[in-house]
Amino acid sequence: MMKMHSHDTARAALRLFRTLLHQQLHSVGIIGAPFCRGQQRDGVQHGPDVIRAAGLVRKLEDQGCRVKDYGNLKFEEVTNDQPIGRPKTPRAVGLANKQVADAVQKIKKDGHTCVMLGGDHSLAIGSIHGHAACRPELSVVWVDAHADINTPLTTPTGNIHGQPMSYLIHELHDKIPVLPNFSWIQPCVEAKDIVYIGLRDVDPEEHYILKYLGIKTFSMTEVDRLGIAQVMEQTCDHVFSKIKKPIHLSFDIDALDPSLAPATGTPVTGGLTYREGVYITEHLCQTGLLSAIDLVEVNPKQATRDEEIKLTASVAVDLLLGCFGRVREGSHGADYKIPEP
């Protein structure tokens, strides 16, 4: 019996060694950010729990990831949060994003690839800021129907989830007025290190900013013209022009077509297909440089039926699985052998 045991242990160790040798072992740190004050629609604060309920942690573990779920952040209610000019609820947004930045920074220091579950897209301010504190050379791949690059002075709605990029880009720093609870935010990304994919609802002011800064964009027109494989090849050519940089993927679920992701606050028809969305994540995973990911704007209260919530959440999970090694051709353990009779 003793012999059997040590033999089994040795085999298990060998199997683990081979797994480590042949497969990239992903270490994932998840933080939930149940926050909705960057926009006006209630419900997006339930995004993290809805995505977890679709089996995110178990499915990541099933494909060989080590997962640490850091739980949900708790955000204080902010009273008397009057607009400052156009931006609405700036104090709550500034405060929540500081917490997100600190949490993401901790997860990066702990050695994980960070997954931030939103919440609305204003949370990218904190997520990218916290990531950049550890990896200042990062590049950003922003997958979204919208550019979210309005400044506090150009925003037509005042919703800060339409503005996060403007606070983060060096070249826009002198266009950003002082807002309460925003003083900790320093620009941390250069325009040349940003790529947009999936755009199809861009305000005129945003369009000007994108052109003025020369930011690389693949609108749905380019996705149609080039195909998603070429889009991803050009995306990586652009962000890795000189050195290999860690990638921050900020994925707004509304980049996908509303038929796939109906449970979201600002759906826009004509979006990415399931296959295009998953291809983006597979391609970025294969670079080995994905360092932090946002999955935002899943809003169960925007669904009209329960099935719409389930569909949106399961698509969100599939995108995250793609970020961590799931490939559609399937896979097998390095020591698998066909059983012999």
Binding residues for Mn(2+), as ranges, are 121, 144, 146, 148, 252, 254
Rank residues 144 and 193 by Cβ distance to Mn ion and give the closer one.
144
The partner residues of 96 in beta bridges, in order of sequence, read none
CB of 39 to Mn ion, least distance (A): 9
Residues that are catalytic? 121, 144, 146, 148, 161, 252, 254, 297
Q: Residue 297 CB, nearest distance to Mn ion (Å)? A: 6
Give me the 144-183 binding string for Mn ion, x by CB under 5 A, dash otherwise.
Answer: x---x-----------------------------------
Instruction: Tell me the C-alpha distance between 115 and 28, whole Å.
Output: 7
d(CA 258, CA 312): 9
Give the nearest distance from C-beta 290 to Mn ion in angstroms: 19
- For Mn ion, the binding residues in 118-147 under the rule CB under 5 A are 121, 144
- Find all residues with CB under 8 Å of 276, minimum gap 6, and list them: 223, 228
- Of 299, 314, 285, the closest CA to residue 42 belongs to 299
Could you tell me the two tokens for 210?
């994108």
Say if CB 109 and CB 134 are below 8 A apart: yes
Least Å from the CB of residue 273 to Mn ion? 19
Candidates 206, 252, 276, 294: give the one binding Mn ion (CB under 5 A).
252
Give the interface size with Mn ion as a residue count (CB under 5 A).
Answer: 4
Q: Is residue 159 within 8 Å of residue 37, measured between CB atoms? A: no
294 in contact with Mn ion (CB under 5 A) = no
Residues in region 83-122 near Mn ion by CB under 5 A: 121
Choose the binding region for Mn ion from 182-190, 233-241, 245-253, 311-319 (rule: CB under 5 A): 245-253
Binding residues: 121, 144, 146, 148, 252, 254
Side-chain-side CA neighbours of residue 18 (13 Å)? 11
Q: Which is nearer to Mn ion, 144 or 308 (CB)?
A: 144
Least Cα distance to 96 among 111, 81, 113, 114 occurs for 81
Bin 201: left if φ > 0, else alpha if -120 < ψ < 50, else beta. beta
How many whole angstroms separate alpha carbon 145 and alpha carbon 70?
29
Residue 144 or 276 having the CB closest to Mn ion = 144
Q: Which residues bind Mn ion (CB under 5 A)?
A: 121, 144, 148, 252
